[in-house]
Structure 1
Amino acid sequence: MENTIFKKMHLKDDASMICINAPQEFFELVTDHSSIKLIKTGKADYVIMFVSSLQEYDAKIKSALSKLNSTGILWINYPKSKGKIKYDVNRDILYRHSNKDGIEPCAMVALNDNWSMMRFREIKE
């Protein structure tokens, strides 16, 4: 699965990655993929952020954006609503809400049965 998801994410070999609020299952995928360099400080090629609420998004987005290098890519992961379990963050909400932060979604993939992820880019004027 990890090779498939990393191909969908268009990860480049030897890319640097910062993970924010990632569950253990994601860290296991990343550490099993030898060409990705997990870093904790500095600027990264990829910032992967996990949020379970809009409040969590608002609390973490500025920090996430500040960790991207000049060509960096931001992926935001949010939980899939299942049955009666609903979240106040989803594709449509992130699409509308992210504009205030100067970013817009440009791609989307399913990480697994529990998480979806959206790639964001800077809004160009």
Structure 2
Amino acid sequence: VILILLLMALLTALYIVIIDQIRKWLKNVSRGYIFTYKNAKIIILISYCFVLLGLFESIIKLAGNFAMYHFLGHNSKLYALIDKDIETFSDFFFNFNFTLIFAGIIIWVIGNVFKYGAFLQDEFDYTV
């Protein structure tokens, strides 16, 4: 139970980091600083947080499943009656949120595009 609470606290911290970084990015954009290295780093940090969210949600589900299984006295038939979502062994272990992981990869690509845009912006500023 303590492990689940610790994981939930980490999950909440990740959400707070994402919201704070989005706020910083929007503040920079509203000031007119769009293609900067700082914005690229912020977007890349947000992408890493999305990937971690996808992994942490599966770890929390796994810890919850183990806690319930242990609470039921390692009775797999009773556990199968309680949780209808788990039909096979792979359902018990591998329930990653691939949507968040894929979104993190796409945001990472966008962050690298912003980094390249910042490079081009610097080159343009120095030549003019």
Higher helix share: 2
Higher relative contact order (CA 8 A, sep 6+): 2
TM-score range, shorter chain: under 0.3
Instruction: Return the TM-score normalized by structure 2.
Output: 0.22
Instruction: Return the TM-score normalized by structure 1.
Output: 0.22
Larger Rg: 2
